[in-house]
Amino acid sequence: MSVDPAVRGEITGVVLAGGRATRMGGADKGLLRVAGRPMVEHVLRALRPQVGNLLVNANRNIDRYREFGVTVVTDLMEGFCGPLAGMASAMQVARTAYVLSVPCDSPFLSEDLAARLHRGLVLDGARIAVADSGGRLEPVFALLDRSLLPSLLAYLEAGERKIDRWYAQHPMTRVDFADESAMFLNLNTPEEVAAAEATIRSRTAADGGSAGR
């Protein structure tokens, strides 16, 4: 399923790379190399064809992220306030109807993520569409109606941070991605990164060495 060009132009993609990555010893996860490339590069390559514009949300190494040819937005609020802060920052900068968020450590991003989330949002008359990995909500893989920004800012300014609680305040639909289980692998340890790297290399070999070039 591909994104209709008109729909693609109404979606701004944001890669969330603004966290502390404490389980990775504080390393900037998006810049960790996997199969010869920074992790964020794998994500950007998969997301770019699906959206009209691309952003990266980051709170450190700003110049390094800019080298990927994208606009970098920092959190509106200080103190590493979680993914909602990154989403709000992207929604403030975007000029499209929707913002699609993904994490920076998802090198196996589905090629039809945007199309399927948008289809679910339209069919269900929702304002938020979130990926479901087979009975489990994956809240940072989400398509958001940008008109929800005032609500999100008010929520954050009230000191709230829980993403599922804010989602529950608005019409939301879950979109089944159980067939894309690799997309939701958590790369939080060196061992998980090594396993992902092995998978990328095996896929590259199966494709005759063309993948990842």
156: left (phi over 0), alpha (psi -120 to 50) or beta: alpha
Per-residue confidence (pLDDT) for residue 132, from 0 to 100 = 98
Per-residue confidence (pLDDT) for residue 178, from 0 to 100 = 96
pTM, rounded to two decimals = 0.90
Per-residue three-class SS string for 141-197: EEEEEHHHHHHHHHHHHCCCCCHHHHHCCCCEEEEECHHHHHHHCCCCCHHHHHHHH
**Blockwise average pLDDT, block size 10, the chain, 213 residues:** 84 88 66 90 96 95 95 82 92 97 93 97 98 96 98 95 96 97 84 82 68 43
Per-residue confidence (pLDDT) for residue 165, from 0 to 100 = 96
Q: Are strands 128-132 and 33-34 parallel, antiparallel or unpaired?
A: unpaired
Q: Which domains does the chain have, with CATH numbers?
A: 5-206 (3.90.550.10)
Q: How far apart are CA 198 and CA 201, in angstroms?
A: 5
Burial letters for 146-159: b for 16+ Cβ neighbours within 10 Å, e otherwise?
Answer: bebbeebbebbeee
Cα three-residue angle 74-162-26, rounded to 5 degrees:
50
Per-residue confidence (pLDDT) for residue 5, from 0 to 100 = 84
Burial class (CB in 10 A: 0-12, 13-18, 19+), 69: exposed
Which distant-in-sequence residues (6+ apart) come within 8 Å of 49 by Cβ? Answer: 3, 111
Structure tokens at 65: 């992220």
